[in-house]
Amino acid sequence: MASRTRPAVDPVALSEDAVSDRILVLKALLGPDALILAHHYQRDAVVAVADVVGDSLRLARAAAAATARHIVFCGVRFMAETAAILTAPDQAVYLAEASAGCSMADMASVDALEAAWADLAAARAGTILPVAYVNSTAALKAFVGRHGGLACTSANAVKALSWVLSQGAKAFFFPDEHLGRIAALELGLPASALAVWDRDKAHGGLDARAMDAAQVYLWNGYCVVHQMFEPGDAATWREKEPGIRVIVHPECSLDVLREADAYGSTETLARMVDTAPAGSKWAVGTEINLVARLAGRNPDKLVVSLSPHQALCANMYRTRPRSVLRVLEAVAAGAPPPAVRVDPALAGQARLALDRMLACA
Ligand code: 13P
Ligand code: SF4
């Protein structure tokens, strides 16, 4: 491989434009050997060099279908882990910024889930299947796989929950309380059938009667970014811009979701705006990089953030074109950086959860 390229260039020494140009040179050189996947929340300059841009579901599908030996993932760790689990052993997935995590994924550890599971068994709460939002660690997905449950994304949480309930089982949904709640309500369950599992309290803060009565348990994790959208934001925009449509991501709280005209995954939100007629107006409740990009590429529409606050995902923002270039330089020089590694025993179990998701999505 080393003979295929000139000596590696130090990205730090290059201007932003030169970094992007060099990425394109290396992509041409590596051809089908390299694939760059990027989430919608990435910076514009990263999105510009990506081969596939999407929500978690689209990126998981792209990884599962990929034939490239080297996959550079521009997003956060749980997404790159998912890609690593769905690819073959001779493929490598590199997280462009290795430190990019997700605070929601950190809110549910496998030990805490094991303890909750034991509590429910002791309370004889019935047959329960776990549902892991993909914003979770590989260890948690493995927990789900070995307990017969499945993973889901914001695009297919309703289908995943429906799959569990159709088997006559209760569901334990984690880590995102808000996505789990809206999916359950969407399926027609009454609020009284939902029990919040408080991760800071013994036995989730539930007594045996409450454990028995619930049909869906909701782990009380959340996304810090999507909690910036508040009830009242929609009314403010509707007063300022009559006719504006309010659309939000399902990680927002129920009160915000109820005030919106529609909700959906990042891909769904982007499609709604991109395919809307000229002159339409949109207040979008999701991460600011995506909202700003939608505004930029739809100059014939009004596209604004639903929130007056800067709803930025600092973890997504860590990745810069330089991060991508560093990986590509190393790959082209024949000395790739460490790939995302998931313990093979866990990966096999996690794959069961992801395959069930892809089959029912
Ligand atoms: P999507 O799958 O809708 O892109 O959401 C991922 C995410 O982390 C949102 O905060
Ligand atoms: Fe995680 Fe929230 Fe960032 Fe999505 S926006 S990656 S849920 S911290």
The residue that leads in pLDDT, 29 or 16, is 29
Count Cα atoms within 13 angstroms, Cβ side, for 332: 24
Atom of ligand 1 nearest to the CA of 55: 4
Closest to 71 in 3D by CA, of 56, 83, 82: 83
Question: What separation in Å is there between the alpha carbon of 344 and the centre of ligand 2?
Answer: 26
The pTM for the full model equals: 0.96
Q: Where are the beta strands (DSSP E) in the chain?
A: 34-39, 52-54, 70-74, 92-95, 128-133, 150-152, 170-174, 194-197, 216-219, 245-248, 262-263, 281-285, 302-305
- Which residue's structure tokens are 């093979």? 344
177-198, pLDDT tens digit by residue? Answer: 999 999 999 999 999 999 999 9
pLDDT of residue 113: 97
Residue of the nearest CA to atom 3 in ligand 2? Answer: 313
CA 19 to chain centre: 27
Residue 124 predicted with pLDDT over 70: yes
Say if CB 215 and CB 189 are below 8 A apart.
Answer: yes
The residue that leads in pLDDT, 2 or 230, is 230
- Domain covering 11-100+316-343 in this structure, CATH number: 3.40.50.10800
Closest to 165 in 3D by CA, of 219, 215, 218: 215
pLDDT band of 2, cuts 50, 70, 90: very low
The 3-state DSSP composition of the chain as helix, strand, coil percent (nearest 5) reads 50, 15, 35
- Domain covering 105-223 in this structure, CATH number: 3.40.50
Ligand 1 pocket residue status of 136, Cβ below 6 Å? no
- Domain covering 226-305 in this structure, CATH number: 3.40.50.10800
pLDDT of residue 360: 85
Question: What separation in Å is there between the alpha carbon of 355 and the centre of ligand 1?
Answer: 19
Residue of the nearest CA to atom 5 in ligand 2? Answer: 313
Write out the two tokens for 204.
């989730």
Write out the two tokens for 20.
């992007």
Taking phi over 0 as left and psi of -120 to 50 as alpha, with beta for the rest, 177 belongs to alpha
150-176, pLDDT tens digit by residue? Answer: 999 999 999 999 999 999 999 999 999
pLDDT of residue 10: 77
Residue 308 predicted with pLDDT over 60: yes
* Mean pLDDT computed over 23-29: 98
Say if CB 154 and CB 134 are below 8 A apart.
Answer: no
Query: What is the spatial distance between Cα 174 and Cα 195, in angstroms, rounded to a whole number?
Result: 12
pLDDT band of 8, cuts 50, 70, 90: low
**Residue ranges of the chain assigned to CATH 3.40.50.10800:** 11-100+316-343, 226-305
pLDDT of residue 53: 98
- Long-range pairs for 277-280: beta carbons < 8 A, 24 or more residues apart: 280/243, 280/245
Query: What is the spatial distance between Cα 132 and Cα 105, in angstroms, rounded to a whole number?
Result: 10
pLDDT band of 309, cuts 50, 70, 90: very high
Question: What separation in Å is there between the alpha carbon of 280 and the centre of ligand 1?
Answer: 25
Atom of ligand 1 nearest to the CA of 40: 4
Residue of the nearest CA to atom 1 in ligand 1? Answer: 55
192-219, pLDDT tens digit by residue? Answer: 999 999 999 999 999 999 999 999 999 9
Residue 4 predicted with pLDDT over 90: no
Mean of per-residue pLDDT scores for the chain: 96
Query: What is the spatial distance between Cα 270 and Cα 264, in angstroms, rounded to a whole number?
Result: 9
pLDDT band of 12, cuts 50, 70, 90: confident
Which residues have CB under 8 Å from 213's CB, separation 6+?
192, 193, 195
* Mean pLDDT computed over 67-89: 98
Beta bridge partners of 94: 72
Under DSSP, the state recorded for 103 is T
Considering the chain, what percentage of its residues have pLDDT values greater than 90?
Answer: 95
